[in-house]
């Protein structure tokens, strides 16, 4: 058995401000290229950074540019407002505010162990060598006017396995609202939807790394992150729960990948190498909705789903407005 362990990095190995400035410049350049590639879209962007809002692009079957969702009725939670970064049917990531703060997590851990059939994953869900914002969102934070996320980031005890040699399922599988994959830094990937079934990346206010916690405190991404190594290239950025790798936003020639290059599940058949193993299929991050996955191409093991659910515990009680209900004090 071979293992890769990433854990408890010392603080002096991380320079978040310098890294974030570099990735922000790359983000602006790539967004401009993406907008030019989609100049013939129905909704014309008002600037090079504009992206179409994905609201309404959720289905109960596989369909390109959509999220094939296991959930068909939504709670109505999520962010409460549309901010100034919306311009009709488009939104501008460069105008969107972020949750304040830079919190480092020296105890962040991720360990991958390889057996004959499985890739075993152990971690605590905290971002390895990356920072987060301050959560819950403080009333003094200007973004509180748009998003009042009341959840703190908490460590999880994650232990599950995914197929080491995935194969395509007979039919694409739907995506749940929780964890659909994980990044090379140990952060969970969620699909593109918020609790209301809307475009989470556009509506929800997140931190400088485009992450935030859900009701159980699991920190996660709904889209790409400027803090995710490899996101701007043709590099491995994580794995989906069906075992297939997730790669960055560019192809082997350095060209920006768009939805038009991908299938209904937001991936494509190609020969790639990830962590020393060969795969004949990979998902790709994109600037445009649905950002990560549209559905599962491979079969997700039932025991994978059970193990993740068990680690997060029972569902959080919520009120009619979708907000967590605090237990009464005796």
Instruction: Give the DSSP letter string of 209-235.
Output: TSEEE-TT--EEESS--TTSTTTTTTS
Query: Is residue 326 very low, low, confident or very high in pLDDT (cuts 50, 70, 90)?
Result: low
Choose between 82 and 104: higher pLDDT: 104
- Give dist(CA 125, CA 108) in Å, integer: 7
Query: Stretch 40-67: mean pLDDT, rounded?
Result: 78
13 in helix, strand or coil?
A: helix
CB contact at 8 A, 50 and 94: no
* pLDDT at residue 297 is higher than 90: yes
Given a cut of 80, is residue 166 above it in pLDDT? yes
pLDDT tens-place string over residues 108-157: 999 999 988 999 999 999 999 999 999 999 999 999 999 999 999 999 99
User: pLDDT band for position 318 (50/70/90)?
Assistant: low
**Tens-place pLDDT, residues 218-253:** 999 999 999 999 999 999 999 999 999 999 999 999
Per-residue confidence (pLDDT) for residue 53, from 0 to 100: 97
Percentage of residues of the chain with pLDDT beyond 70: 79
Main-chain phi, psi angles of 280, to 5 degrees = -105, 10
Cis bond leading into 290, ω under 30°?
A: yes
Contact 99, 140 (CB under 8 A): no
Q: Does residue 194 register a pLDDT over 90?
A: yes
pLDDT one-digit tens code per residue, 274-287: 999 999 999 999 99
pLDDT at 172: 98
User: Euclidean distance between the first and final Cα of the chain, in Å?
Assistant: 50
Reference 23, options 230, 251, 246; nearest CA is: 230
pTM exceeding 0.85: no
Residue 319 is predicted with a pLDDT of: 59
Q: Are 222 and 191 in contact (CB under 8 A)?
A: yes
- Of 299, 224, 14, 278, nearest in space to 128 by CA: 14
Average pLDDT for 159-167: 96
């Amino acid at each position: 058995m071979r293992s890769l362990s990433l854990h408890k990095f010392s603080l002096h190995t991380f320079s978040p401000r310098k890294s974030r400035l570099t990735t922000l410049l790359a983000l602006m350049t790539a967004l401009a290229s993406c907008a030019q590639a989609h100049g013939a879209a129905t909704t014309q962007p008002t600037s090079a950074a504009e992206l179409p809002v994905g609201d309404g692009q959720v289905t109960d079957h596989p369909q390109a540019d959509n999220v094939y969702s296991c959930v068909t009725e939504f709670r109505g939670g999520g962010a409460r407002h549309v901010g100034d970064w919306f311009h009709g049917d488009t939104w501008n990531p460069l105008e969107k505010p972020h949750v304040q703060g830079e919190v480092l997590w020296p105890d962040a851990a991720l360990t991958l162990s390889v057996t004959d059939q499985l890739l075993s994953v152990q971690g605590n869900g905290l971002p390895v060598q990356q920072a987060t914002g301050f959560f819950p969102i403080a009333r003094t934070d200007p973004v509180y006017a748009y998003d009042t996320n009341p959840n703190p980031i908490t460590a999880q005890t994650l232990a599950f396995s995914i197929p080491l040699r995935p194969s395509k399922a007979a039919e694409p599988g739907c995506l749940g609202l929780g964890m659909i994959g994980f990044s090379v830094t140990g952060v969970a990937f969620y699909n593109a939807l918020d609790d209301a079934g809307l475009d989470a990346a556009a509506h929800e206010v997140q931190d400088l790394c485009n992450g935030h916690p859900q009701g159980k405190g699991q920190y996660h991404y709904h889209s790409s992150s400027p803090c995710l190594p490899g996101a701007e290239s043709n590099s491995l950025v994580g794995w989906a729960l069906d075992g297939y790798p997730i790669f960055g936003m560019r192809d082997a020639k350095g060209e920006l990948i768009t939805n038009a290059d991908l299938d209904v599940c937001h991936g494509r058949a190609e020969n790639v190498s990830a962590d020393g193993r060969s795969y004949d299929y990979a998902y790709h991050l994109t600037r445009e909705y649905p950002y990560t996955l549209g559905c599962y191409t491979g079969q997700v093991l039932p025991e994978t789903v059970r193990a993740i659910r068990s680690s997060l515990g029972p569902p959080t009680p919520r009120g009619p407005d979708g907000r967590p209900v605090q237990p009464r004090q005796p």
